[in-house]
Structure formats: C-alpha cells, structure tokens
Structure 1
Amino acid sequence: MATWAPVILAEGYELWRGPSNDVELAGLLGNASTSPYIDFTVTATQGNYYWVRATNSITSGTFSTPNFGYCGLPAPLGLVASDGVFTDRVTLSWSSVPGAEAYEVWRHTLDTTNGAGWLALWNASTNYADIVAVPGYRFYYWVKSKNQVGAGLISQSESGFLMLSPPSSVMASYGTVPNGVGVNWASVDGSDWYEVWWNDSSSTVGVEKIADCVAWTNYLDSEITPGMIGYYWIKASGTLSTSALSVAYDNGMIAGDPEIPESIGIATRLQGISLCCQTITGRSYRVQGTTNLMANWTNLYTTFTPGRGRLTSIFTTDIDSQLFLRVESTNSP
C-alpha cells in the first residue's frame, strides 16, 4: 500500500513501479484520485520501488522520491513445541509458508514478544531444536517466515519445556545407620523435589514409591524391616515434569543387632534336643552349643533364610548330660 500527501491543484495521481530506484525502468501501475493506493498484483517474493506524481487536465507533475515496498509473508501456522519429551532439547515444528525461504525462531520466558530474543534468524526448515533450553522453566516460542525481500508476520505463541534428567550417584547406607537406611543422590538442575522408589530386589518390576515431595537430596527409610535388604531408585520432579527412574540404584540395610527370633522352642526327645525358632527376612543364622557355659561355644548348625520361616533341627547329646543352645544372626549389620 502506497500513501502520500495531497498536492495543491492536483486532480489525480499516477502510481509507477519498477525493480530498481531508476524511474526510467519503471512502468505505470495505475491511477488514483487520492491516497492511498493498494498494489494487488505484487508477489511475496518480489520487492519493488514506487513513485507517485500528481496530474490534472493541463499537465503532470514531477515524480516523487522512490520508496521501496514489498508484500509481507503471512504468519506461520501450526506451531507445536514439545512438552517434557526430551531432557536435552525442546523441539519445534510448523507449517510451511508459500514464498518463504527461511524462518526466524524467537523465545521468551513470558508469553509476550516484548523482550523476546531470537534463537535463529535464518532457519531453512520447518522444524527447530532448542538445545539451550534450561530445565525447570516453561519457554514461549514464536516463528516468522522470511525471504530475501523481508520478514513476514509473527506466529501465535506456543510453549514447551524440558523433561527433568534422572538423578545420578544414588547411594544407600548398609548397616551404618541405626534407625533406617539413609539414601542420598546428586541434585538435578530444575527439580523442585524428589521421589524415592524401593524394591526388595534389583529389578524395577514391581518397584514402589515410598516417598514423594522430598525437598533435599537425602532420605531416611525408617520403615524398612530389620534384616531386609532394600534397593532404591530416585526420580527428580517439579511443577512441569517428572524424570524417568534413575538408572543408578543402590541397596541398603538397617544397622543394629538382629531381632530376637520369635517363638523359640526347645524340646527333649529320645534322639536329642529339638530346637525350633522363627527366622527374620534376609538373615543368615547359626546355632551354637556348649555343655559348659564357662567353655567355648561350638557351631552346630548354619543356614540362610531368604524370607520369614522356621529353623528346626535336632541336636544329639549324651544321656543325663546338659546341652546349652543359642541362636544368632551371622549377617547382623
């Protein structure tokens, strides 16, 4: 669209257009009775120089100073940004614009173009990866189409963000903490809190979340059963996303003496002395005996019980003699 100031005594105006600022190469585009004039024959890939001169029934005036103009490209449509799909990039894609040779990509932490900064000024494809995005923040993106003539209109905004990375360096205490298993891990950029996951084996099948919204990079599992070995994984979490389960994990055990075996029973039989006691999950046991409390104890029986169960055995002794028995855990932390 060409505009100009009115000229005294003018009855009309001629609009001329050319590929350069040399009016000798220009041609008459059209006539107008007043400003403005819209050039509907221009294409988005071609810029032109324009002149105006006033006319009346007697004569034509001199040409105006040339002014360059071009048809702007439309705003790209269909802008899509990834939401927590990748830990190292936010991907963008949009529909192509006819006449566009490249695209500008703009970004801001607020949903406004005021103060937005450019990520790319000449991106030839209709997709882009923001590899400098920071975890824990939502970013807003805009795209402009452009060619050698100039840039077009800016698109509607679209937001995207990174997925948090899983924590690393997971470590669990093994028999060093008296009231539980202490778990700690490395902090994750952009996280607001952490989740602690547990299993009774190193498999992630059946893993259970035992703590949420942990604000620090350490946790005390005080609910674990004494004698049980636990395996721990961590997830980083925040208002925007939660990470995958940490690849790193560690196993731990509570410190302290083993629980006293439950329901200990001793009975005298013709074959000897029969002993029965309840075992504790994950503990190895041995039965020791002596005929004299002032003498050394001798190992009579050892076993490993992967779960709660019963330890039974018969221990022979001479008739009319005493045999003292005791049961202890051999893998007490």
Structure 2
Amino acid sequence: MGAGDIGTTRSRAGSPVRFAGVSKSFGSFVAVHPLVLDVKEGEFMSFLGPSGSGKTTTLMMLAGFEEPTDGRIYIGHQDITAVPPARRNVGMVFQSYALFPHMTVEQNIAFPLRMRGLSKAEQMREVGRVLEIVGLERFGRRFPGQLSGGQQQRVALARAIVFQPPVLLMDEPLSALDKYLRSHLQSEIRRIHRDLGITVVYVTHDQDEAMTMSDRICVMRDGRIAQVDAPEALYSRPQDEFVVGFLGESNMLDAVVAFSAERTLQLEIGGDRIVLPVARQPAGGRVRLSVRPEHVAFHPDPAGGATVADVTYVGDHRRYDLRLADGRMLIVKAQSTGAEPVPPGARVTVDWPAAQIRAFSEGKALQ
C-alpha cells in the first residue's frame, strides 16, 4: 500500500503515533523545537500548555495542515510526513464545529463516507451507528442551526469517527461550551474513546480537562516538552517548577539548607525545620519547595508560629490563608466538616507533610 492509499483504509482500532525529531519554524521563530514523542496505540494523549507553547502547531503538523521544518511523523509504521491531510485517514474535531449549515445532521456525518466512495446503504448504516454512539438518534434530519452548541459538537465528533479512523485529533473542542456541557461532553468523549479503542491526540489549555480525560499528558512550554506523564504523576511528582505552577494550585516557598548529608536535607522554612530525603545541597543554600494546599495540615495553638489571615467556604472544602512567622502566606484547603472553622486571627501550628513536599533547585526537582 502506497502513501496515496492511506485514505482508503478503515480501521477498528487505534494506531500509535510517533514524532521523530519534529520541529517547526516560522522564519527565525522556532514554534516547536525538535520533538521526540510516542503516543501508544489506543492512548488518550493530551497536549497541555499556555498560548504559544507549541501544542496546536504540533497537532496541525500531525493533521497535515502545517509542514514540519525537520523530522518525521508516523502513524503506525507509515511515514505520513508528506501525505496530504485528506489522505492521512485521521478524524479531526475543531472548536468551531465546522459543520455544513445547508446539510442535515445525517448528511454532515455521511460526508466523509461519500468522499470515500461508500454506497448510500453503507453510508446510512454507518451514520445510524455513530448517531447512536453520540446519543443523537432523533436528530438526524435536523440542520446544525436547529441544534444547541453541545449537540453540534456531538455531530462534529460523529463525523470525525464515522469512517473509523485509527487516530482522532481534537483541537480545543469544548472551550466554547459552558461548564456543565463541557463536563458532560468530557465524560462522553472518554466513554467513546474507551468503547472504540481509538488513539486520541487532544489539545487543551484547561488543566482540569486534561487531568480528567487523559491517559497521559504532554505539558509543553516555549515549544518544548516540559514533562510527559500520567495525570496523577504529573500532579504529585512534577519534574520542574513550571509543571507545578501550571497543574493546579501550589504553595511555592523558599527554604534555607540548615544541614545536608547523603539523601538527607534539613531545611528551615517559616520558623520551622523539616527533613526531606533528597540529594545533598550546600549548607546555607536556597531551595524552592512546593506543597499542594490540600496536603498541608494545621491545628489551633496559642503558641503557634502562624496566624489565620482569612478563611473562605468553598462547598466541599474551606480555604485558609495562613500568615507564617516570617510574613509569607500559605494556602491550605481543609475538608468541610461539622467542626467549626478556625477563625481569622487564631494562632496555629503548621504540620509540614514531608512526604508531599517537592524540592527544586534551579527549577528542577531534586527528588
């Protein structure tokens, strides 16, 4: 089978994707530095990062809408770097839906099948199958303008999977929807991914969305990969300070090295001393510490070295702003229970959870 025949092949399982030293420059600006990444067969991989991080450019190169400056891209064992977009046999869902307004839902979904030469009977069979998958069995005769935003996005998803592509690309597909619809469609997309076994490459700037949906997340910064890992590992074991700050909320505090031995570091922080099992650092040197708000505990103590500056009720938890002895602030999230909240002005002692603290030197994790 030649490269020009890729669009005639249909698959019921996902294919792996490989970026082999792929880069992209626009003039003197490097949008994506040489990228080496393997997406596993049937995996849900999200590209996450701020605007300008290179995540969408990477997706567009995989889709064929941008040509790499260097490197090769593979789907399965086939080099598709020079294959035109229409012949890559990948499904694509955009933020804007990109539906044909003059076509019915059925006609929109059938369009890629018609382009592949399937008979009318085959088209209707496949359209009926995916309408059931996306929960729109009763909407086939309607036009896009008669549907809600969430329903239109379901149609776009159905059109992208109706020809059973081995890879599905999704570029910020839910960002235009409200919070409720976004949450609902996240669950639906995840279910469809599980049921079909398709490989999904998903671009988002929404950390919660990436954490909820992905098998692995590729965090990008300035055109480079900062870290690739499972959501839980990214959150609990970030490898640099950028990943810490980009995934969820965290307290970042400077600490001074009081004592250092092999795999033992004693640090001074906020008037307290803590011991971490990390590599030796120079005595008197500074280390940056990260601790998630939900991992910090405290208890009322008239002789405590911290003070409650503010407390906010947020439904399932209370957010406390604590002022440490040296004036720095610490955010704590405590589960809401029947107990009375600790009021502002109360003195407290902070219990530092050594097992949950990440230490960084020059931006990189020491553990």
TM-score of the aligned structures, taking structure 2 as reference length? 0.22
More helix by share: 2
Bigger-Rg structure (1/2): 1
TM-score of the aligned structures, taking structure 1 as reference length? 0.24
